[in-house]
Amino acid sequence: MKPGVTFGGLAAIVLVLAAVAGSFAYLDMPLGALFTGAAVGEAVAFVQRFFPPDLSADFLAKVGGAALETLAISLVSTLLAAVAGALLAMPAAGRQGRAVRRVARFVLNLLRSVPELVWATLMVLAAGLGPFAGTLALALHTTGVLGRLFAEALENAPPTPAEALAGSGTPAVAAFLYGTLPLVAPQWLAYSLYRWEMNIRMAAILGFVGAGGLGGLLYYSLSLFHEAEASTVILAMLAMAIAVDGASAWLRRKA
């Protein structure tokens, strides 16, 4: 049934290989230089400075605080984004006409296309250094992502329950809450949880541009050449990532 290799497929493969070769050539990667004795020695010395990690109680408390801040940023931003995404999803699903739908989709695409870290640099300017800027940045990007997913769920939901309620004089807001929301709520929740998982990872690096969380601590330690401290922070990030991974895998298996 499947044709072997079509001409288009072959052309695509050649193009991809050419693009990869071209990329390495353009970047002029000093791959050879990487493996000279001196470079290897330098790298090993650099890695050695990270061991052993700084496990003093003082610093661990600091890392714990920053980890908690990271978690808080991810939670609050996802919550804000879920609310804003839901509000934008309704016009984006075409409930207020096609012109409004266009505008809403454009806004969502704009929010989504600007990376979190870029939003963070902008928000640091708008709200000052600190976790609040990070929260806003993550919330803005996530609103774009969730808004689009929410709108798709809305467009796919059967309209009859809400129409039946509207047919017995129910105002639009109540008809939505009783007739449509129960249909999309499980999907909306699943999308939000999935995004929260990604936002925990993201919140850990927003600190690079001064927006709070573990990233700030890492950036600061490395700038001061305190590699032992940096290695503790990286371990904390790793632990968080693995915990989130495990928790979500467990949840998915239960669901």
x-marked contacts with another protein along 24-43 as a string, rule CB under 8 A: x-xx-xx---x-------xx
Residue 151 Cα distances to 14, 55, 106, angstroms: 38, 47, 13
Site stretch for another protein (CB under 8 A), options 52-60, 82-90, 144-152, 211-219: 211-219
At 225, list the tokens: 């050449």
Q: Does 76 bind another protein (CB under 8 A)?
A: yes
Cβ nearer to another protein, comparing 61 with 163: 163
Name which position in 20, 55, 103, 251 contacts another protein (CB under 8 A): 20
Q: Does 174 bind another protein (CB under 8 A)?
A: yes
Name which position in 78, 81, 93, 135 contacts another protein (CB under 8 A): 135
- Any residues with CB less than 8 A from the CB of 88 and at least 6 apart, and which? 104, 107, 108, 143, 147, 150, 151
Q: Does 69 bind another protein (CB under 8 A)?
A: yes
Q: Shortest approach of another protein to residue 55 CB, angstroms?
A: 19
Residue 144's SS3 state is helix
Q: Shortest approach of another protein to residue 14 CB, angstroms?
A: 11
Q: Does 131 bind another protein (CB under 8 A)?
A: yes
CB atoms within 10 A of CB 46: 10
Cβ nearer to another protein, comparing 92 with 138: 138
Cβ nearer to another protein, comparing 91 with 215: 215
Name which position in 102, 156, 167, 252 contacts another protein (CB under 8 A): 167
Q: Does 121 bind another protein (CB under 8 A)?
A: yes
At 109, list the tokens: 């695409």
Q: Does 22 bind another protein (CB under 8 A)?
A: yes
Q: Shortest approach of another protein to residue 59 CB, angstroms?
A: 18
Asked if residue 207 lies in contact with residue 217, where contact means CB atoms within 8 angstroms, the answer is yes
- Any residues with CB less than 8 A from the CB of 104 and at least 6 apart, and which? 88, 91, 92, 147, 151
**40-59: contacts with another protein (CB under 8 A):** 42-43, 46
Element spanning 39, H or E? helix 37-48
Q: Does 183 bind another protein (CB under 8 A)?
A: yes
Cα(69)–Cα(95) distance, rounded to whole angstroms? 38
Residue type, 6: T
**213-252: contacts with another protein (CB under 8 A):** 218-219, 222, 234, 237-238, 241-242, 245
Cα(8)–Cα(199) distance, rounded to whole angstroms? 38
Residue 246 Cα distances to 26, 78, 86, 213, angstroms: 39, 20, 28, 22
